[in-house]
Chains A and B, each alone.
Chain A
Amino acid sequence: MTSVTIHDPTLRDGQHAVRHQLGAAALRGYAEAADAARVPVVEVGHGNGLGASSLQVGRAAVSDDEMLSTVREALTTSRMGVFMLPGWGTSADLRKAVAHGADVLRIGVHCTETSLAERHLEFLRAEGAEAHCVLMMSHMATPAELAEHAANAVAYGAQAVGIMDSAGHFLPADVTERIGAIAGAVDVPVIFHGHNNLGMAVANSVAAATAGATIIDGCARGFGAGAGNAQLEVLVPVLERTGFPTGIDLYALLDAAEFAERELMPAPPVTGSLSIVSGLAGVFSGFKHQVLDRAERAGVDPRDVFFELGRRQAIAGQEDLIVDVVADLSTRKDGKAA
């Protein structure tokens, strides 16, 4: 049986759900719990990764340095992961993360922009770190384009490559097709990172594993942007029953999820109205808080804001478009998107 390596971005993607406000005690506590469950990789950081604390996306409560040193100290067998978007973070941030003991460094680029990762992947390989490349907003590209860009990432030095369903837009058949295309184009492990906007995160992850992905992301209680990610403590036993061993201790994993629900989040993510429309519209669900805040102040329907953002093909990182869209909708008489 093919085994699957679980990659756990609870302490990174979950930041989107709490406006990047996780404190050091929460980071330490969850990292210890995940380590006890033998979760292979525990990822930490601001929601948009290294160097991304900002007014545009949200300022983090804790600096990158403190996040990395806190989680590093808490891990004994689990490896520490970080995430970086070129243009948000730089090689200086990667160097710092390697010095802090990050084992797995993921470079994120939007679906067809792999060449943005060329220098950073080369840099990581020269540093001797494990370098991954993930293609975000992957619903914006065809399976053939994703396969081509995945192959480019491997040529630049990526030791694993895959896709993020950043908007939670995919259905299982979409995932099967895309992961199949990528797995056929590269000879390194393939990654899938799902979001639950349409209630498909676990089903999509199983489809990904079945189609050849061997690194699957999941978060405790699904803690992540918008409707959240694949719920880790559901994902793991479901993968095991499907026939993909993970090496994770179930009871300890359930304990970690209990800790997460108690200490990391006001409430577990639900697939609410805005998450559903952001999934349908193909918009990054991390926009949720800002859309809600600004739409409410301007008296426009936040669902219209999401559909209009989708029409404009807003990508993750383009939160500034929310201001324009809300202003445009509030000046239209009926308040409805065109």
Chain B
Amino acid sequence: MTVVDDTTGVTPGTVRPLSVAVIGTGAIGQDLVSKAHRSDVLECALVVGRNPRSAGLRYAAGLGCPTSADGIDAILAAPEAFDVVFDATNAMAHAEHWRLLEPLGTLLIDMTPSKIGQMVVPTVTGPQVPTVRNVNLVSCGGQASVPIAHALADAFDVTYIEVVSTVASTIAGRATRLNLDEYVATTQDALTAFSGVRDTKAVLNISPAVPPAPFRTAVHAVVPGADAEAVRGVVDAAAERVRAVQPGYEAVACAVNGDRVTVSLEVMAASEVLPPYAGNLDIINSAAVMVAEQHAARLSAVAWTGAGR
């Protein structure tokens, strides 16, 4: 797997806007709506939830997006299938949503840790074309840690990787709370898939601190013969590449003690709807929007050359 510098590959004005629908009106759903609304190549065509009075639906309507409280049924009832559907519900519901949407040819971008679709971390894989119609964004901890895990494993002989993330209680919604087991399993699998290191571990802390704690991810690695300066160089370069698309991403500490490497990452959100400490949601949503924009660029290129899908 190679790391690329330009991870968007999209030039505004050359791309036909894609119709986008969002399922779920929690903090992830609202921020996705805000990001899609800002995108030149995405058009927010429908936002669905289950509570007609939810803040998320009100927010979407305020931006001029069509909304419905009929959930997945409203997506299925649309006269024309959406190009992209973001699923910001939970891992259990996602399995059913995929079953219903698969026949429609929509690209389903899964924000839950269901592990059903192809796992993507666009800051590592670049503008790769997903080969399937169900793309999984792993987890917030996965999006934050995989770039570092990948870079370390690429440069050194790494025998073990462990990732511990801490998110603030106030932005851990019900789906996150119900999906802790899935979060752990999916994040561990992604670490192995993207770094090639077989022995991995993922942990999630939910912090009740007031004021809320900023999103943090610690990457621990066992690197026999680790050289502190070389490790720092690899970590800084990897963090810099992520920062090109996620400005609030920072490696705040990097310690080497014998063969143990510890990298502390902090991600501050830059979003219209999220508080600064919610970097966990910002990084996974930015990645999801990046995947959708790459899909838009690809569809335009296909239309231009007349090549089949």
Contact = CB atoms under 8 A, between A and B. Distances in A.
Nearest to B261: A55
Contact of A320 (B177, B201, B208, B262): B262
B260 to A, nearest CB: 6
B205 A315 contact: yes
Contact of B201 (A54, A91, A111, A317): A54
Nearest to A317: B205
A55 B162 contact: yes
Contact of A90 (B185, B252, B260, B262): B185
Nearest to B177: A115
Interface of B: 160, 162, 164, 166, 169, 174, 177-178, 180-181, 183-185, 201, 203-210, 213, 216, 218, 220, 222, 252-253, 255, 257, 260, 262, 264
28 contacts: A54-B164, A54-B203, A55-B220, A56-B203, A87-B206, A90-B180, A90-B181, A111-B208, A112-B169, A116-B180, A118-B178, A119-B178, A119-B180, A140-B208, A297-B257, A312-B213, A313-B209, A315-B205, A318-B166, A318-B205, A318-B207, A320-B164, A320-B218, A321-B216, A321-B264, A323-B253, A323-B255, A323-B262
Given A54-B201, A324-B264, A315 B184 contact: no
Interface of A: 54-56, 86-88, 90-92, 110-113, 115-116, 118-119, 137, 140-141, 294, 297, 312-313, 315, 317-321, 323-324, 327
A110 B203 contact: no
A323 B201 CA distance: 19
B207 A315 contact: yes
Contacts of A116: 177, 180, 206
A6 B166 CA distance: 33
Contacts of B177: 113, 115-116, 118
B220 A327 contact: no
Nearest to B216: A320
A56 B218 contact: yes
Kindly list the 3 A-B residue pairs having the minimum CB-CB distance in the complex, ordered from nearest. A320-B218, A313-B209, A55-B220
A137 B209 CA distance: 11
Contact of A327 (B162, B218, B255): B255
B181 A315 contact: no
Contacts of B164: 54, 56, 317-320
Contacts of B264: 320-321, 323-324
A87 B203 contact: yes
Contacts of B252: 324
B210 A313 contact: yes
A133 to B, nearest CB: 14
A217 to B, nearest CB: 22
B212 to A, nearest CB: 10
B210 A90 contact: no
Contact of A54 (B162, B204, B208, B253): B162
Nearest to A48: B203
A324 B266 CA distance: 11
B174 A55 contact: no
Nearest to B221: A55
Contact of B181 (A110, A119, A320): A119
Contacts of A91: 181
A87 B180 contact: yes
A313 B201 contact: no
Contacts of A312: 209, 213
B262 A141 contact: no
Contact of B180 (A86, A110, A320): A86
Contacts of B206: 87, 110, 113, 116
A129 B126 CA distance: 47
A331 B180 CA distance: 37
B220 A56 contact: yes
Contact of A55 (B205, B207, B260): B260
A322 B26 CA distance: 32
A232 B10 CA distance: 66
A228 B252 CA distance: 32
